[in-house]
Amino acid sequence: MAKPPRPNTQGQPRDTKRRWAKLCLALLTVIVFIATTVLGVFVMVGCVSSSSAISNLFLAELRDNGTDYDIHLRFGYFGGCVIMSNIASPDAPLSYCIMNLRASDANDLNEEFCEKLNLPSDQTDKLQDALNVMLPVAKNLQTSVFNWEPPLVSLLLFLISSIMLLVAVTAVSPKRRYKATLFVAVLFAAFSIASALVADVGARQAAAALLDGDPTLDSRSLGPFFVQNASANLQYIVQDAAAACVALFYVIFGVIFVRRDPEDKTPFGFPHHVTINQFTQN
């Protein structure tokens, strides 16, 4: 009696490894996408809230040294925070943040800060005098130096191009619509990377210019107040990470396109019949 033919299992281990590689690549894409989106949002929300995580995200910090209080004015792309610390007890500072410094007049901002901090009358006068000098400078730096458009454009183009690339990777089509979608997605991706780099490098250069180009300085005197060195601040670390994640995301998608099987019609090249159990076989 003839023996039944043995099933061909030589290709199964290789197929399993490929499926694991595709699964890992898909998970890495999702992780990098989420990280890039979260970092991009954090870049924009510096100093819009008094919470410690948000108030420590700032592009520049102006400081006025008083006899009893140190007055710090921090600002991001939109928000701004005033932090007052008593020299006798610096561990219990008073702080208040405004979501958008750009939208209000300097005099109105001064009144709001003084009202919300609820200081004694003598300290309120000192705060008003300090903010009368620092607020116009901060608003001018926000308007003329630290432009909000590049980081916001980078984030929006990243989100749009990510959706378009996800659609484009699902299949290959000879139609012009598919080619046009892929071309626009790549174009948006290039502008997203460029905008992220412009925002990151431009902000660092502006911060260095405020210190007269000397990054070793802790602060620099600008008449009645000082500019603090913010180059090691969390804001710039977040911007560096956001720009790196944007570039990494598009590199991963490039790998996906290169490794993709043109016959596959599903995202990341997974056939329709693949199940999780098949990843654990053999």
Query: Could you tell me whether strands 89-98 and 69-75 are parallel, antiparallel, or unpaired per DSSP bridges?
Result: unpaired
Same domain (yes/no): 139, 158? no
Q: Write down the H helix ranges in 45-146.
A: 52-55, 106-117, 121-144
**Domain with 250 in it:** 23-45+147-215+229-268
Same domain (yes/no): 74, 153? no
Chain-centroid distance of CA 54 in Å reads 13
Name residue 114's amino acid.
C
From first to last of the 282 residues of the chain, give the pLDDT tens digit: 455 555 555 555 666 777 777 788 888 999 999 999 999 999 999 889 888 788 889 998 898 876 677 888 999 999 999 988 776 566 667 889 999 988 888 889 999 998 888 877 778 888 888 899 899 989 999 988 999 999 999 999 999 999 988 888 876 666 788 888 889 999 999 999 999 999 999 999 988 888 877 777 777 877 777 888 777 788 899 999 999 999 999 999 888 887 776 555 555 554 444 443 444 444
Same domain (yes/no): 174, 119? no
Predicted pLDDT at 172? 66
Same domain (yes/no): 151, 263? yes
Which is nearest to 157 in space by CA: 29, 8, 40, 1?
Answer: 40
The count of structural domains within the chain is: 2
pTM for this model (two decimals) = 0.80
Same domain (yes/no): 34, 73? no
Bridge partners, residue 63, by sequence: 72, 226
Long-range contacts of 18-22 (CB under 8 A, 24+ apart): 19/270, 19/274, 19/278, 19/279, 20/279, 22/259, 22/268, 22/269, 22/270
CB atoms within 10 A of CB 126: 18
For residue 154, give every residue at least 6 positions away whose Cβ sits within 8 Å of its Cβ, in sequence order, or none: 40, 192, 193, 195, 196, 199, 242, 246
Predicted pLDDT at 64? 84
Q: Within 13 A of 180's CA, how many CA atoms are on the CB side?
A: 3
Same domain (yes/no): 138, 184? no
Q: Return the structure tokens found at 262.
A: 């043109």
Predicted pLDDT at 14? 63
Please check whether residue 239 lies inside any domain of the structure.
yes
